[in-house]
Structure 1
Amino acid sequence: MKRKKNKQEPTPDPEHLTEQEKVAGERARLLFKTLRNETFSPDEKDALWNQVGETISQRKQRSFNIFWIAAAASVTLLLLTGVGYLVFYKDTARTMQEFAARGANGPDETQLILGDKRVISLRNENSSVEYKDGGALIQVDSSSTIDQQVAGDQQFNTLVVPYGKRSVLTLADGTRIWLNSGSKLVYPSHFDKGLREVYLEGQAYFSVAHAEDAPFYVHTKDMEVKVLGTEFDVSAYDDDPYTATVLTKGSVELTTQRQTLFGSKKTQITPGTRAVFDQDQAVLQTQQVDVQQYISWKDGYLALNVAPLSEIIKKLSRYYRVDIELKQPKLAGVKFGGDLILQDDVRDVLKVLALTTGLNYKQQPNERRYVLEESTIKP
């Protein structure tokens, strides 16, 4: 009697069987040969044959599932490795960012916080810090010298410049950094051979000493600037929705979205270029600009090239650590040009600004609060 073929479960094709499946089939054939003289009903023989076929099919399906489980495990391992790098790997940039978060917020005086937790106050409005002897000596405001340990494990120093103050930092390699009001810079007590890295919050102008074998990196919360030796400005204030770099000379390489697993992007810019990274849109845009309007603050004046009044007020508020209110918001977008000298007294600057714009200014009972408003006197 011929066996009936099950239409739903086709007989396995011997050409596509694995070695284990061929062995199982051979054992089944021996079983039938041994039992050929035994008495089985046709239905029993069909059921037994179908059971053997199902066993072989299940083994093939199990092999198929094992393949995809292994593939999924590999992909998962890759993702976990990437996430582990982003979350758990402590590179220098992330370590310095953590030090910046620990630094003083809103101090009245500029502070130099050393790696051994000593805090040195700098009382001048325009202070200076210079590292000498490979970083072992620190000269503060040309009046005092502090020693620090540079051997052993790497330590990080933090220079905190509050609103209303400025500071110039000279590192042991000869790099000079002008820090604007409301800024923090974290940097190693000494640079290891072959690498120079700092972390910035706020605004700073960098004049980097050239070193072919030691690239210089400026890290911010969402941008990395890599140079060998050049001059540029970086602005990365927490209350601005962007991070910007303006290149004065040389060339720099920018990396944005560095902390994403696959989204890191690199861009090179040339002198006279301003690169702005929009934090909300995660987009980097570049344009040619008059760089002086972005770096003149370090020389004690604002070069205003059709700058909106709201931007001028924001810069003055930071520079002098005062509140300046624009009484008529409609004037925020009105643009002005010219050079605004940043004098010692903010009232002298506001007088010049009022005269230039045709506005009046008045000081509130709180001496650190000023109001700019339209003149009530009609021409």
Structure 2
Amino acid sequence: MYKILFNLVFRKMDPEKAHHLAFFWIRLAASIPGLKQLVALVLAPRHRSLRTTALGLDLPGPFGLGAGFDKDGIGIDGLSMLGFDFVEIGTVTGEPQPGNPAPRLFRLVDDRALINRMGFNNQGSARVAARLAKRPHTTSTPVIGVNIGKTKVVEEADATADYLKSTERLAPYADYLVVNVSSPNTPGLRNLQAVQVLGPLLWDVRKAADAAVAHHVPLLVKIAPDLADEDIDEIADMALQLGLDGIIATNTTIGRDGLREPAARIEEIGMGGLSGAPLADRSLEVLQRLRARTEGRLTLISVGGIETAEDAWQRILHGADLVQGYSAFVYQGPFWMRRVHKGLAARLRASGHRTVAEAVGTAKPR
């Protein structure tokens, strides 16, 4: 049904407008008393066997929505209604910003991929923090990750102060916090991945989060797939030395290899980060390298090219404590999480492992 709707309606729309329309309907459904529970019952039946613990958090399952879909934390309940086990909002910057000029989001349908150069369009950390502060906290409240990045107009030399501003405002409302230094769409941002810059930045963010909140807020860093293997090793070592809680791997890629989309259209689209199916192999490689380097001492969240339950299961077997998706949600629609959870539960039963956590990292390295 969704595939027909996608081909007849969404595929003919500007991708960003289609996103806003779909997100509006998700939020609307979640705001209607009774309808939210009914939709969740149909789309998101929970499998008790998938319950897991990571980052010190109890989660209904291992599969969350990656950052970028809900930049301002306006649809958390609706996304949880669709079955995501946790929702990462953002990227949120210190100051509000409109992002890059449109068009800035493009579909590569034959590749099951997206290219975006959104540029961290968001309402800013003060407004997002105020919104999160109003959310009720109950036993059924979704787990929320908050992804923070650098405001575009802030100079690279002043990046730390900008991150600290967001940390102080948002850490009190985050179940975990992510420092994003890997988007290709903010000039100079990826320069912050150099360990001599990244280490002090993360250390300062850790101190700011501890000062802002009485309890420990898990801190992770999100890295790019385009890093050299040696740089990945250095970041892993640094994360262990700093006592970081985890790493999210990976963000979008600037690469364009192996695409089915005609080269002329790829050139016409221009700059931006590529996500979706073409990222799967490299994302898995980075995960395996991180797992081997850290030996289970960090929480690893794998994202990039995960489309099916089998994809998610392979990431878990190769060392991912948690997994995330985004691009496949665009192409597969609201029943996606239902299919993934059903498939994961079946694979867990067949594996002989009692829990997801028990299965993590049990595959032999390729």
What is the TM-score of this pair, normalised by structure 1? 0.26
What is the TM-score of this pair, normalised by structure 2? 0.26
Please state which structure has a larger fraction of its residues in helix: 2
Please state which structure has a larger fraction of its residues in strand: 1
Q: Which has the larger radius of gyration?
A: 1
